[in-house]
Structures are given as structure tokens and as C-alpha cells.
């Protein structure tokens, strides 16, 4: 499917990076007079990809009843959002107040400065914080549910709770900027018996049903956009879509579901199903040319399921287990690049290596292959993943002593843990943990310099005994000397297959932070083209915490829709 490209697409180094399940994207087609062209369909707004970002954009745009919206998706809709934990990072909300939590937009914006750094302008962060409390009532009008109870536990995902500390709010560095508050709002299930299920599906099912019910929205599943159409002035005026007829679409639906099934993945059948779904798309989809009067919103996800693109753009992260679907193949980003869209942060992957649960692991120390400590262990898993991949060749271990290991074993029996947490924790303890009577012998078993490991543990213990601040600013509550053998090392690298490091790509198209319009490399707006979610550089593209990506999906989807309504 590779092709030689010229013009705008030639400036994007990953344009020809395809894999066995990716959608081919062509250089944009140029027309002199859009109105003189033969089109199969027309719409005011075309939304490409119906995860949370695209669905938010479509629903928000459709609030203007005079606009016709066409929303297309490679699958049935939902995308990576439906497979996620269904957590949104929000502040000053009704749910927080009901749970007795005091928070404000100003307080949340102050904390987010810690995560977004200089990538996103402070005024954009504050605008997001100001809007975030209104996301819940808006989502609830479309059938989603939110509420308590609150969890105070240190966890990567709360088992039976629906509001929790989902980021680094309690760390010493964050406390200097803002008062800690739980802002991870997990979507409530429609059936109370499903409290321990992942909530992404509970979020997306009612939103997609609402989308399908709107008279001025047409939902076109099993459809891919492979080419944009621009006029003589460079404005995006249409697209070439490829849609599956009803018969092939039924088989395609089955294969797409199989391709994201966990058991099918473990048995090796998911990859075969995904390749078969792609063959159906290539062989049986039919071309549909659509005229777009106001603009196109690209919201087709990242590129974590395009291993060729990951290997070229972010080679350090080849070992990451992707979260999403085969729709996360980079095609949306390539569509933007095909008309001159600039990109940023393409080398950044948010890779999540949680040291909790079991929460006791945060009291140990995480080391790299040189035997030296690599991170503040109590920080969010994306910080640990970044330390492992960016600075330590994808390798790392968490070191504890016998008393801590006994506590870890006890934590692993917590009935609040979800099934996937029990599975990965049990695998880590039984399959990927080594023990030795001394630190020197442990170093030999895991292949790190013994003198460095001993020195690292001695320095850690000494700072605790002497009452000195932790070298990585870990709080005192998460510090305990490592001094009683035997000693244990648990592998936190990319290698453990039953305890993988999961992740998503953070890079994408650069956008105007006020309008969501795609920008060229020289900062010029590309008329008629917008990007949202992980097709765009956003609030979570510097450092990710749970819920910030989904919240950014709503924020960026709204932003694009409001710009299109105002045109």
C-alpha cells in the first residue's frame, strides 16, 4: 500500500509507515471548484473517528439544529475510549461536593501546571479547568452517569469506588502548587452489579446511542477516510471515504470485536482477526465522496497499534502493550499531514508501570540496570514508565526487603482489587520476582552492579534514619528502610508478558489552542480542518495522569465544534 508522495505529505516522515492493519492514506486531492465536483453525499461537519473526542464534537456541533453532521468510524464507535477505565479528570464538580471534597478550577489549574509544563499555555489550562465541572452535567444529558463513593486508597484504578486520587496530587512537588483533591471521576455503571467492571464501555454506550438518535447526525460505522479534498486556496472541502456494505460490515463487526478481546489476545487470535478485518476493508469497501461545507474534525486516535510507525517515531517504546483498537493506526494524523498539518511530541508515549497496587511497593525503591534509583516510587505510573523507557533502556526492578515483601503479599489479597489487578499482581509476584539472602546475591541474579545496588540502598536507608528529605522527594509516609533479608526484586521492565507495561501515544497534530484548528509547521491555520483527542497535541501530551486524556477529549471536541458552529 506504500506510495511516493509529494507536496505537503512529503514533509511528514511517517506518511508511508504502514502495517498489516493500517488504513492507507493518500496525498490530498486538489480541486479548482468544489461546487462543480460530483459528490455522493454532503454534510456541514464531518467527524472522523467516534471515540469520546469525536462523539463530543459531533454531539456539541449538532446542538445547532441547522447543521448536518456526518460521524464516521472504522468500527462501531467507541474506540480506545470504550476500552479505557472511563475516568475523567475534572475539578470543582458536583460529585466532589457530594463526597465532601473542596476543590476549584483555580486549584486544579495550579496542579495541572505541574503536569502540562510549558507545552500548553497557562490560559488554555485555566480555560479547561473552568469548563471541566460542566462536562459531567453535559455528559449526563446524553446518558452517562457519575457519582461517589470516594476512595482514599493509593490505587491505579478503584475497585468499587468512583472518585479517587488519579494523579500525583499528594506528592510533595504537587503540594507546593495546589491543595490535593481527588479528581478522577469514574463513570458509574448502568447495572450496580457491574461496579468492578472497566467503565469505558459504560461511558461510551449511552453517548453513542444519543449520537445515533439525533436527527441531524448521521452515524456511518465501518467507514474509513483515506483522502482529504482541498480547493485552490487550500481549504478542506471534502473527503474520500470507503464504506463497507451491510453484508461485509457484519463480518467486519465480529472480527473487530475479536481483535480487542482479551482472551483472544492471550490465545493469539486477536491479531489474526484484526488482519482479516483489514482485508475486508481493502477488498470490499466502496468509495463515497462527501462534500463538507464547514469543516472536518480529525479524532481517529493515536498510533500505538501501528508498530511500524511506533518503531520509527518512538523507537524506545516498541515493547509497550498498546491500549486501543486497530483504528489507532495514525491514519488521522496522516490525513492532517497530507494537507500540511504540523506535528509535535511524536516520540512521546505514555507508558504506565504502576507500583500500586500493591501499595506497599511504593515504599521500596525502583532501580535501573546500573543499580541506581530511577524515580519517586509514589508518583503516577506514567512517571515510572517514562523513567524506565526514556532513561533505562526499558529495564527496571523494584527492590524490597522481607517485611515489605510480606506486606506486599498481604496487599495482593485485597478483595477490592479488580480481576486484571489480581492477575497482573499475582503474575508479578510468582513469575517475575527474584529473592536472595543478600543484596549482593540479588544484584547477581538480576544482572546489575552489586556495589551500585548496595550503595543505593544504603543511601536510601541513611536518609530515612537521619531524617533527611528523600532524594526523589518521596513523602515520609512512603519511606521505609530496606534492611532485613532476604531481599526481593520484581521486574518492572517491558518484558513480563502477564504484567505488561501498557500505553498510548501522546503526539499528534499541532492545533490552535483557542479554536482547535490544525496548524501548519509555520503556524498557519489550515482552513476547514480541526483535530481533537489523541489526533492532536493536548493537555496530556506532556505528562499523563488517569482521566486527563478523556477529559481532554471532551474539551478538544467541544472546542472544535464551537469553532465550526461559529463559522
Predicted local distance difference test score (pLDDT) of residue 2:
36
Our count of domains for the chain comes to 3
Predicted local distance difference test score (pLDDT) of residue 193:
84
The rounded distance, in Å, linking the Cα atoms of 114 and 421 is 28
Looking at the fold, whether 14 and 106 belong to one and the same domain comes out as no
Residue 6 reports pLDDT greater than 60: no
Looking at the fold, whether 142 and 40 belong to one and the same domain comes out as no
Closest by CA to 25, choosing from 444, 349, 331, is: 331
Q: Is residue 500 part of a domain?
A: no
Q: Last residue of some domain: 136, 168, 194?
A: 194
Closest by CA to 542, choosing from 301, 332, 380, is: 380
Say what the pTM is: 0.95
Q: Last residue of some domain: 170, 194, 218?
A: 194
Looking at the fold, whether 118 and 78 belong to one and the same domain comes out as no
Looking at the fold, whether 322 and 361 belong to one and the same domain comes out as no
Predicted local distance difference test score (pLDDT) of residue 266:
65
Q: Last residue of some domain: 194, 226, 253?
A: 194
pLDDT, tens digit, for every residue of 502-561?
A: 999 999 999 999 999 999 999 999 999 999 999 999 999 999 999 999 999 999 999 999
Q: Is residue 143 part of a domain?
A: yes
Q: Is residue 222 part of a domain?
A: yes
Q: Is residue 329 part of a domain?
A: yes
The rounded distance, in Å, linking the Cα atoms of 552 and 120 is 12
- Give residue 9's pLDDT band: very low, low, confident or very high (50, 70, 90): confident
Q: Is residue 161 part of a domain?
A: yes
Looking at the fold, whether 524 and 380 belong to one and the same domain comes out as no
Structural domain range at position 431 = 354-491
Would you state the cell numbers that stand for residue 306, as one nine-digit string? 501501528
| Three-class secondary structure of residue 471 per DSSP | coil
Which residues 6+ apart lie within 8 Å of 307 measured at CB? 19, 318
Looking at the fold, whether 456 and 408 belong to one and the same domain comes out as yes
Region 167-191 average pLDDT: 96
Which residues 6+ apart lie within 8 Å of 257 measured at CB? none
Looking at the fold, whether 94 and 170 belong to one and the same domain comes out as yes
The rounded distance, in Å, linking the Cα atoms of 52 and 181 is 25
Looking at the fold, whether 290 and 432 belong to one and the same domain comes out as no
The rounded distance, in Å, linking the Cα atoms of 506 and 207 is 24
Q: Is residue 260 part of a domain?
A: no
Which parts of 331-454 are beta strand (E)? Answer: 343-344, 349-352, 365-367, 397-401, 433-436
Residue with cell 482477526: 273
CB atoms near residue 301 (< 10 Å): 31
Amino acid at each position: 500500500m506504500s506510495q511516493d508522495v509529494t507536496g505537503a505529505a512529503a514533509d511528514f516522515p511517517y506518511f508511508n509507515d504502514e502495517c498489516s492493519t493500517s488504513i492507507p492514506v493518500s496525498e490530498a486531492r486538489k480541486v479548482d471548484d468544489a461546487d462543480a465536483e460530483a459528490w455522493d453525499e454532503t454534510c456541514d461537519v464531518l467527524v472522523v473517528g467516534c471515540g469520546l473526542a469525536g462523539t463530543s464534537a459531533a454531539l456539541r456541533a449538532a446542538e445547532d439544529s441547522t447543521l448536518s453532521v456526518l460521524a464516521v468510524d472504522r468500527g462501531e464507535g467507541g474506540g480506545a475510549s470504550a476500552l479505557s477505565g472511563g475516568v475523567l479528570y475534572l475539578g470543582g464538580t458536583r460529585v466532589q461536593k457530594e463526597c465532601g471534597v473542596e476543590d476549584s478550577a483555580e486549584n486544579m489549574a495550579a496542579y495541572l501546571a505541574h503536569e502540562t509544563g510549558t507545552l500548553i499555555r497557562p490560559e488554555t489550562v485555566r480555560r479547561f479547568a473552568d469548563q471541566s465541572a460542566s462536562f459531567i452535567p453535559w455528559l449526563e444529558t446524553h446518558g452517562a452517569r457519575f457519582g461517589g463513593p470516594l476512595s482514599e486508597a493509593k490505587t491505579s484504578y478503584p475497585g468499587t469506588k468512583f472518585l479517587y486520587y488519579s494523579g500525583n496530587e499528594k506528592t510533595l512537588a504537587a503540594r507546593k502548587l495546589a491543595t490535593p483533591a481527588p479528581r478522577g471521576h469514574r463513570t458509574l455503571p448502568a447495572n450496580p452489579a457491574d461496579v468492578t467492571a472497566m467503565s469505558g464501555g459504560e461511558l461510551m454506550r449511552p453517548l453513542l446511542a444519543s449520537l445515533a438518535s439525533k436527527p441531524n447526525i448521521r452515524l456511518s460505522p465501518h467507514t474509513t477516510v483515506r483522502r482529504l479534498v482541498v480547493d485552490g486556496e487550500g481549504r478542506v472541502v471534502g473527503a474520500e471515504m470507503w464504506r463497507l456494505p451491510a453484508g461485509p460490515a457484519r463480518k467486519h463487526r465480529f472480527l473487530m470485536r475479536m481483535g480487542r478481546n482479551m482472551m483472544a489476545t492471550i490465545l493469539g487470535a486477536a491479531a489474526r482477526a484484526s488482519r482479516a478485518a483489514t482485508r475486508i476493508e481493502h477488498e470490499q469497501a466502496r468509495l463515497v465522496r462527501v462534500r463538507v461545507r464547514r469543516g472536518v474534525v480529525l479524532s481517529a486516535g493515536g498510533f500505538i497499534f501501528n508498530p511500524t510507525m511506533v518503531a520509527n517515531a518512538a523507537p524506545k517504546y516498541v515493547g509497550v502493550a498498546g491500549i486501543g483498537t486497530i483504528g489507532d493506526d495514525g491514519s488521522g494524523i496522516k490525513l492532517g499531514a497530507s494537507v500540511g498539518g504540523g506535528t509535535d511530541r511524536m516520540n512521546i508515549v505514555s507508558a504506565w508501570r504502576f507500583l500500586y497496587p500493591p501499595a506497599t511497593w511504593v515504599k521500596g525503591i525502583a532501580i535501573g540496570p546500573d543499580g541506581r534509583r530511577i524515580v519517586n516510587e509514589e508518583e503516577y505510573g506514567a512517571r515510572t514508565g517514562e523513567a524506565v523507557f526514556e532513561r533505562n533502556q526499558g529495564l527496571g526492578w523494584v527492590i524490597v526487603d522481607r517485611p515489605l515483601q510480606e506486606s506486599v503479599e498481604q496487599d495482593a489479597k485485597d478483595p477490592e482489587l479488580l480481576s486484571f489487578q489480581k492477575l497482573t499482581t499475582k503474575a508479578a509476584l510468582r513469575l517475575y520476582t527474584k529473592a536472595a539472602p543478600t543484596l549482593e546475591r540479588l544484584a547477581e541474579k538480576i544482572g546489575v552492579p552489586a556495589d551500585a545496588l548496595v550503595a543505593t540502598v544504603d543511601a536510601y536507608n541513611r536518609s530515612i534514619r537521619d531524617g533527611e528529605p528523600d532524594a526523589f522527594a518521596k513523602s515520609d509516609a512512603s519511606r521505609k528502610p530496606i534492611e532485613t533479608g532476604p531481599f526481593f526484586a520484581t521486574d518492572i521492565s517491558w518484558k513480563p508478558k502477564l504484567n505488561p507495561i501498557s500505553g498510548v501515544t501522546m503526539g499528534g497534530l499541532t492545533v490552535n489552542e483557542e479554536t482547535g484548528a490544525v496548524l501548519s509547521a509555520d503556524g498557519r491555520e489550515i482552513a476547514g480542518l480541526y483535530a481533537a483527542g489523541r489526533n492532536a497535541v493536548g493537555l496530556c501530551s506532556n505528562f499523563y495522569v488517569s482521566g486527563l486524556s478523556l477529559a481532554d477529549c471532551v474539551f478538544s471536541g467541544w472546542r472544535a465544534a464551537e469553532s465550526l458552529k461559529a463559522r
